[in-house]
A and B are shown apart, each in its own frame.
Chain A
Amino acid sequence: MNLIKAILKKEFRDSLRDRRAIMVAILPALLAPILMAFMFHTIAKTKVSTDELTIQVIGKENAPDLISYLEQNELTFEDYKGEPKKDIQDETVKLILEIPDNYAENFNDFKTATVYIHADRSMTNSRSAVNRLDRLISTYGSQIGSMRLIIRGVNPSIARAVAVKDRDYSTDASRAGQILAGLQMFILMAAFFGSAPVAIDTTAGERERKSLEPLLVHPLSSFQIMTGKWLTVVSFGLLASIIAVISTAIAFDFISLKSLGLDPKLTITMQLSMILLLIPSAMFAASLQMLTSLFAKTFKEAQSYLGLVALLPMAPVMATMIGGAKAADWMYMVPILGQQQLLTTVLRGEGIDWMNLITASGVTVLVSLAIVTVLTRLLRSERVVYGG
């Protein structure tokens, strides 16, 4: 026990003095949630702006009737003077409605009265506004047309042979689901990023520094050495996970995503449940990373392998996002996937199903310990100590 403690102390001391590696380990956990929050905030804001759209208008006085119709549909107008083409290309103005001087004359003579919409339709953020204005004006036009036909005793349906009605099933909930999936991915990845530098340093690094051989000639078992090293790596992964959870909680305290139908305020209980369910995933990350690094021939090789290992938490998340995989009981039996499922329920505010937590944690811890057993066996092999 004292030997394990001594190893742990040495590994911690050594790792903590490597400031740059610590930065690499912790920074993603700290910053990713803040970036995510900022991104969602921006998405939420663009959606809000379409509800109360302000449009620059030229020749507002030429069509008071049309303008008042549009104003009833929650558009507001500002008089515009300038060069539409230039301002739109410079992106100083998104959308300009131009009502020419001959509008009233044509309208009153029952000729087609033309209005112009100036916009850059390749710009994603103005597209929805342009479509909305377009649709409203068309509706206005066909309403007027229908009234003119009715006055002449003609059924307006004659002029409208086919009608299209849009039924959009994209909901706030589905959008929120994708945001949650992204969040889970970052929180799960935090452990991988957090433990990677230490995992490499205590295995491939120790060999590359040639300090593994001197360490192994001391009277302690491979199990004691591995346990000490493993606990160190797990601690760093767990630390990064905790930071990610707290950082997420703080970030989402500052922004509102109500317009996306999502309110991910993390209560203390939710944060604690998340940390609890992340402990096994930190263990798994440590085991897997140490195993990979132990097989790598050099420090650099280990680094590139671990880059791939860190992508692991993305797999289940991608499956949920793209394949729309439904939650199933077997998922709790797969390390990381189980934690991801649990995180989903916690983030949705549904609380934790203790049975599922025990299953997922149990399986993940067992797999992690099995890997530690393999690591212990490998530690004193010639291949590991002197390279293969």
Chain B
Amino acid sequence: MIEVQNLHKSFGKVVAVDDVSLTARDGSITGLLGPNGAGKTTTLRTLYGLQKPDQGNALIDGIDVTKDLVSAAKNMGIFPDSIGLYDRLTTKEHLEFYGQMHGFSGKQLDEAINRTQQYFDIEELLDRKCKGFSHGQQMKVALSRALIHSPKNLILDEPTNGLDVMSIRMLRELLRRLRDEGKCILFSSHVMQEVTALCDHIYIMADGKVIAEGTPDELCQLAGKDTLEDAFVSLIGSEEGIAL
């Protein structure tokens, strides 16, 4: 379970996150939808401990990340804002390294790599150095990195950016499967279709605030519209920054 409680974060005079609370439950996919600059990434960065909240808490399975980041990180799979692969290392070496970072070694490590490479069918990339990978290929390696230790909680920052249609379908199926296995999944997106197609629960963010939340049906009712698309536009108050 992932919880954010009354989170505040400012950069100088700019208020990035203003009193945000959200909960992502186990066995469910929670979406964070909002235009660029709404505070989604800042909220997620607080969850994986790289940005200290001015106020409020971020909890992973009840562990406060500001107090015990290492324990919290054990149960987290992160796909951060930056892909950041090492040009001179192969895909396999990446998976090996990050597997080791989660304490795997020997046979356990081999099994983890073998299991993970099947998610996005990256076997042909395994022995290639990452320099010159297409954006989509890089994304697949980075997503595999987040999944190497079969984490209980998964946090994905804009995971479909630049993926081709086939890969997006693979990612969706994978996320649904993981949800059915009881994992807790929180992802952010500014692409409405992603959120609509996947999410059990949606938080809509704008200007650093959560302006609405609920299941897709609840959001439609709340806005008094028939389709989610219309509901979003009406809730955010503009179409700016949202991709349909």
List residues of A whose CB falls within 8 A of some B CB.
2-3, 6, 9-10, 13-14, 17-18, 209-221, 380, 382, 385-386
Contact = CB atoms under 8 A, between A and B. Distances in A.
Nearest to B101: A218
23 contacts: A9-B97, A10-B86, A10-B89, A13-B88, A14-B86, A14-B89, A17-B88, A18-B88, A210-B84, A211-B84, A211-B85, A213-B50, A213-B80, A213-B84, A214-B80, A214-B82, A217-B50, A217-B76, A217-B80, A219-B72, A219-B101, A219-B102, A220-B101
Query: Closest 9 interchain pairs by CB?
Result: A211-B84, A210-B82, A6-B100, A219-B73, A210-B84, A218-B101, A17-B88, A217-B78, A219-B74
Most chain B C-beta atoms within 10 Å of own C-beta, residue among A6, A13, A221: A6
Contact of A217 (B73, B83, B97): B73
A218 B98 contact: yes
Contact of A218 (B71, B83, B102): B102
A45 B145 CA distance: 63
Contact of B84 (A9, A14, A209): A209
A216 B50 contact: yes
B174 interface: no
Contacts of B102: 218-219
A9 B98 CA distance: 12
Nearest to A220: B101
Interface in B65-93: 69-74, 76, 78, 80-89, 93
B50 A214 contact: no
Given A6-B101, A9-B97, 19 more contacts: A2-B100, A3-B103, A6-B97, A10-B93, A13-B88, A13-B93, A17-B88, A210-B84, A211-B82, A213-B80, A213-B82, A214-B142, A215-B84, A216-B50, A217-B50, A218-B98, A218-B101, A219-B101, A382-B50
A3 B101 contact: yes
Nearest to B52: A382
A18 B87 CA distance: 10
A219 B85 CA distance: 18
A384 B84 CA distance: 15
Contacts, number: 82
B145 A214 contact: yes
Interface residues of B, number: 33
A210 B142 CA distance: 12
Given A218-B73, A380-B50, A210 B101 contact: no
B49 interface: yes
Interface in B124-148: 142, 145
A10 B97 contact: yes
B153 to A, nearest CB: 12
A256 B74 CA distance: 63
B84 A214 contact: yes
Interface in B183-227: none
Contacts of B69: 219
A3 B100 contact: yes
B231 to A, nearest CB: 33
Given A2-B100, A13-B93, A18-B88, A217 B70 contact: no
B48 interface: yes
A214 B71 contact: no
Nearest to A18: B88
B23 interface: no
B51 interface: yes
Contacts of A13: 88-89, 93
Contacts of A9: 97
Contacts of A209: 84-87
A214 B79 CA distance: 8
A9 B94 CA distance: 12
A170 to B, nearest CB: 54
A217 B52 CA distance: 14
Nearest to B79: A214
Contacts of B101: 3, 6, 215, 218-220
A217 B101 CA distance: 10
A218 B95 CA distance: 13
B224 to A, nearest CB: 40
A249 B82 CA distance: 48
Contacts of A382: 50-52
B83 to A, nearest CB: 7
B161 interface: no
Contacts of A386: 50-51
Contacts of A217: 48-50, 73, 76, 78, 80
B2 to A, nearest CB: 14
B99 to A, nearest CB: 9
A98 B93 CA distance: 79
Contacts of B81: 213
A6 B85 CA distance: 16
A221 B74 CA distance: 12
B105 interface: yes
A293 B187 CA distance: 34
Contacts of B82: 210-211, 213-214
Given A2-B105, A3-B100, A211 B86 contact: yes
Contacts of A216: 49-50
Nearest to A206: B84
A85 B225 CA distance: 104
A2 B103 contact: yes
A23 B64 CA distance: 46
A214 B89 CA distance: 15
A14 B50 contact: no
Contacts of A385: 50
Interface string B141-171: 0100100000000000000000000000000
A202 B78 CA distance: 21
